[in-house]
Amino acid sequence: MKHLLIILLALSSCQSPVSTESSAPLTEAEEAAAKGLIQGAFDDLWGGVDSTKISQYHTADFVILEQGEVWDNDRIKQYMRGQLARPDRPKRINRMDYISLDKYGNSIQIAYYNYAEFLQADTIVGKASWLESALAVSTPDGWRLKSMHSTRMKN
């Protein structure tokens, strides 16, 4: 029995340790690109409601999990058409407060708070906030968002 225990210990010590570390650290340029991707997507897509810019920010297979619903690029375009049809649509301004940005291979996991103000003329007519996460992936065309998850917070 003693010999069996020694053999088992010897065999288990030969195994390679499991690495839980991310790959190369996030560079300042990658961090700026990831933050710019998030801010640009909200400025141009959700604030500017410009569907012609979706491919500048999203992969073709992008999905967002939004309050229990799955939205793809087509569903986002449908939402944008509805927003553009509103003659009294308020202007939307988003501000992010980043929690973490972590690089894993050719992807960056981003966690952040998103704060939005809705304005009519110079008057704030509404506010909203979300806790969100996003996955940015490196593509031949640069960094793009592959997925997001959004949970509305109480104001």
**Residue 34 counted as domain residue:** yes
**Residue 134 counted as domain residue:** yes
Query: What CATH number does residue 72 fall under?
Result: 3.10.450.50
Residue 26 structure tokens: 């996030």
**Residue 41 counted as domain residue:** yes
Residue range(s) defining the domain that contains residue 136: 26-153
- Backbone dihedral region for residue 68 (phi beyond 0: left; psi -120 to 50: alpha; all else: beta): left
Residue 149 structure tokens: 């998850």
Q: Is the pLDDT of residue 7 over 80?
A: no
C-alpha distances (whole Å) from 152 to each of 99, 131, 136 are 16, 7, 21
**Residue 149 counted as domain residue:** yes
**Residue 62 counted as domain residue:** yes
**Residue 12 counted as domain residue:** no
pLDDT tens digit string along 117-133? 999 999 999 999 999 99
**Residue 20 counted as domain residue:** no
pTM for the full predicted model: 0.82
CB 133 within 8 A of CB 114: no
Report the number of distinct structural domains present in the chain.
Answer: 1
pLDDT tens digit string along 86-107? 999 999 999 999 999 999 999 9
Average pLDDT rounded to a whole number, residues 55-84:
96
pLDDT tens digit string along 13-45? 555 444 444 468 999 999 999 999 999 999 999
**Residue 17 counted as domain residue:** no
